[in-house]
Structures are given as C-alpha cells and as structure tokens.
Amino acid sequence: MSDPRGRCSYCHASVGRKNVKTCGECRNVRYCSKRCQAKAWPDHKKCCTGDVRQAVAGDPVGTALLEGLTKWTNDWRDALQSWSLWAMNLHNYPEDRLATHIFVVELETRPGARSTSSKKYFRMIGGKVMTREEVLQILVEMDSPARNIEAFKNDQRGNHVIQCMIIAEGMVKFLWFGQRDALTGETVSPLDKKVDPEFADVLAKFWEPAMIDAIEKGDPSMTQDFIKSVLLKTVPGLKAIISIPKNAESSSSAQIEGVPA
C-alpha cells in the first residue's frame, strides 16, 4: 500500500514524502506540484484553517491532541475511506446520499497514548451515518465558532464526495474522500456498480464493530480482513483464499473545525 503522506491530495499520484509539499496554513493536505495546489485551492480554501494551531499554541493538552489527531488521521486515511464508503451503503439509498449525509466517528484518547504508536493514539467510541442537519446541530452544541458553522453550511461538494467527521474530545476534524477521472480530472462517483446491493447491505450492517476492533488493535489493514470475512459468509462455495487489492489510491482533504474548550 502506498504511503498516504507521500500522495498528492489532488491528483492522487504517489510520489514519496520528499516530493510533496504540505499546505503552509493548515498542514493537512499535500501536493506534488504548484499546479495541483492551484487546482485544489477553490475547494480547499473552504476548509483551510491555519488558525487552529495558533489557537492551541499555549495549551499543551490541546497541542498534543491536535498532533495526535493529525498523525492518527494520516495513518488511518485509507482505512477511513473504506469504512465510510461501506457505511454509506450507496447501492441501497437514493442517489443524493453523499450530498445529504456525513460519516461520523467519535474517538477518545487511549491511556498512555503519547508513548505508543500514532496508530494506537485513539480508541473508537462509536460511529454512524448522520444527516447534514444532525451534524450541524452537533457543531452548534459544541459551541463551534460561527465562521466554522457558516463554512460547513456553505461547503456543498455534491454527490461524488464522501464527507467524514471525526470527533475527538472536543476537537472536530473533517475529511473528504473522492476519486478523479485520470483524463478529465473531474470528481467521479465512488459507487462501484459491480458490487451486489445485498453484499453492500451486509457491509453496512456490520462495519461499526469491525472498525472499533481494528482501531482498538491499531491495525488499518484489518479493513481487508473485514471484506474477506463478509465475502466468505455471503458468497456460496467460496473456499480459496481471497486476494483483495490494497485500497485504491484516492484523494482526500482535511479540515479541523474546532479546538478543545
């Protein structure tokens, strides 16, 4: 599997960590060229929040949480894309589901987190798919800054991008997962029409406990184990070892909307 930290957030090219430049404001996205950065800016400017690091600069706890969440997200980015896609269950819902719903995950810091691997920094409390209205209410109840709430209201990316919200002890981080056509550069639907709707339903039914277990063990590759277990249970006569390709390269951008009180 390619290194997410060496992948361009716009064109998806894996060029290695030494060949990507991080956004100087938010430090959450990476680009392989100035051209990709310029093309990504119209969308990225909606969520680029360089003031977050300044807000926690004098708070050791907030700074540690921000650093932990940033590293953890980088480690789990590909896995989060898979879990969010399975949870959305696009095969069995209206076509506008991605425009109206958000994948939400709640985390808590693991005891002794700072002395362990960044992959094990958090454990998962739970997760679900929520409407944009429900997410907006959460932001209001968390006393998110008015500018961030307005940014959320105005950030409408349509039906081809999966939006993920991560809540970690008062801090909120948004991720967007999309795929671009290699020739046109246009964002395309993540819906795989070759997948059977009944199979998609099973994935959507059991993703949460499997994701909680994977995060508890600190192993992003367990996304593949989940797929294999579901295939073995749902496909009659399947006996051979199933070879599942690693997560396809994808683009993602991130935004941290809030800071600890």
Read off the pLDDT of residues 222-237 as tens digits, 9 standing for 90 and up.
999 998 888 887 766 5
Give the pLDDT band (50/70/90) at residue 190: confident
pLDDT, position 55? 55
The DSSP secondary-structure symbol of 90 reads G
What 3-state DSSP class applies to 235? coil
* Joined tokens for residue 195: 């997948």
pLDDT score of 249 more than 60? no
Is residue 9 domain-resident? no
Least confident of 48-62, 67-81, 148-162, 208-222: 48-62
The pLDDT, as a whole number, for residue 73 is 93
Whether 38 is in a domain gets the answer no
At 180 the pLDDT is: 65
What is the total count of domains within the chain? Answer: 1
Quick check: 191 pLDDT over 80? no
Question: For tokens 């990316």, what's the residue?
Answer: 157
How far apart are the C-alpha atoms of 241 and 255, rounded to whole Å? 39
> What's the pLDDT score for residue 208?
96
Identify whether 47 is part of a domain. Answer: no
Domain assignment of residue 211, yes or no: yes
In a domain, 24, yes or no: no
Q: Which of 11-15, 44-48, 118-122 has the highest mean pLDDT?
A: 118-122
Tell me the β-bridge partners of 255: 174
For residue 119, give the nearest of 204, 215, 191 by alpha carbon: 215
> Which is more confidently placed, 7 or 162?
162
Position 12 in a domain: no
| Residue that wins the pLDDT comparison between 28 and 87 | 87
**Residue-level pLDDT at 185:** 63
pTM as predicted: 0.74
**What is the domain extent for residue 236?**
60-256
Burial of 186 (0-12, 13-18, 19+ CB in 10 A): exposed
Are the beta carbons of 29 and 47 closer than 8 angstroms? no
Tell me if 46 is assigned to some domain.
Answer: no
Asked if residue 4 is part of any domain, the answer here is no
Highest mean pLDDT, choosing among 100-109, 147-156, 184-193: 100-109
Q: So what's the pLDDT on residue 245?
A: 42
Token couple for 1: 């599997």
